[in-house]
């Protein structure tokens, strides 16, 4: 069914068909490490190396990204569903419980045990409606073997070639 001038629920439903990986965006605030679950992440430029993250204007992590001028992208493994749910919940104080993290060159914390990570300096911030697009300049990155976590039509799952 074609929907002209769709409302936000219809748009969300349609975009839910675009399966994605799942990340936790981390940054450093005065009170300690902060972070949130994000699937609106994409590689953007090779010269310079840039990636993009869609961040809600309401995100509390956005203030830390602006303040520190840096953020980390932690690409999650298939078995990290509980972590993805925890970093999306409104109980912010609980997010780093029992999670090992390491401070990287930019000052951002990176989660131990992720499938891959990218340490970024904030290159630019582009307003985009109720979100901003945070452009990250890649300072360091690493990837490891393992199964990725996916998000598709509101559910978490694994990769099935
Ligand atoms: C699978 C999934 C993907 C999400 N992707 C994004 C995203 O790309 N950008 C965003 O701003 N919020 C996204 N969210 C919502 C945030 O994780 C959630 O609003 C979080 O509480 C924000 O935390 P903060 O306000 O402490 O930064 C996503 C949530 C889930 C479950």
CATH of the domain at 56: 2.30.110.10
Q: Name which residue sits closest to atom 26 of ligand 1, judged by CA.
A: 60
Say if 40 falls within a structural domain: yes
Residue 59 is part of which domain span?
21-153
> How many structural domains compose the chain?
1
| CA 95 to ligand 1 centroid distance, Å | 13
CB 151 within 8 Å of CB 21: yes
In a domain, 123, yes or no: yes
In a domain, 15, yes or no: no
Cis upstream peptide for 48 (omega within 30°):
yes
What CA–CA distances, in Å, run from 132 to 7, 36, 114, 128, 158? 20, 15, 25, 5, 29
**Tens of pLDDT, residues 114-127:** 999 999 999 999 99
Q: Which two tokens stand for residue 9?
A: 């629920």
Residue 160 lies in a domain: no
pLDDT digits (tens, 9 = 90+) for 27-66: 999 999 999 999 999 999 999 999 999 999 999 999 999 9
- Does a structural domain hold residue 3? no
Residue bearing the CA closest to ligand 1, atom 25: 59
pTM metric for this prediction = 0.98
Beta bridge partners of 102: 110
Q: Is 140 among the domain residues?
A: yes
With respect to residue 98, please indicate whether it lies within any of the assigned structural domains: yes
Evaluate whether 42 touches 133 at the Cβ level (below 8 Å).
Answer: no
- Establish if 108 belongs to a structural domain: yes
Closest residue to atom 20 of ligand 1, CA basis: 88
Is 74 strand, coil or helix?
strand
């Amino acid at each position: 069914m074609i929907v002209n001038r769709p409302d936000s629920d219809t748009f969300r439903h349609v975009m839910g068909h675009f399966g994605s990986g799942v990340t936790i965006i981390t940054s450093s605030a005065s009170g300690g490490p902060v972070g949130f679950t994000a699937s609106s992440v994409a590689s953007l430029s090779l010269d310079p190396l840039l990636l993009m993250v869609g961040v809600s204007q309401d995100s509390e992590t956005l203030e830390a990204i602006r303040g520190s001028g840096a953020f980390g992208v932690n690409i999650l493994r298939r078995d990290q569903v509980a972590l993805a749910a925890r970093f999306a919940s409104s109980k912010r104080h609980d997010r780093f419980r029992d999670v090992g993290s390491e401070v990287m060159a930019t000052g951002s914390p990176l989660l131990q045990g992720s499938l891959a990570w990218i340490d970024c300096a904030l290159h630019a911030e582009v307003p985009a409606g109720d979100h901003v697009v945070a452009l990250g300049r890649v300072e360091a990155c690493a990837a490891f073997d393992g199964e990725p976590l996916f998000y598709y039509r509101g559910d978490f799952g694994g990769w099935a070639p």
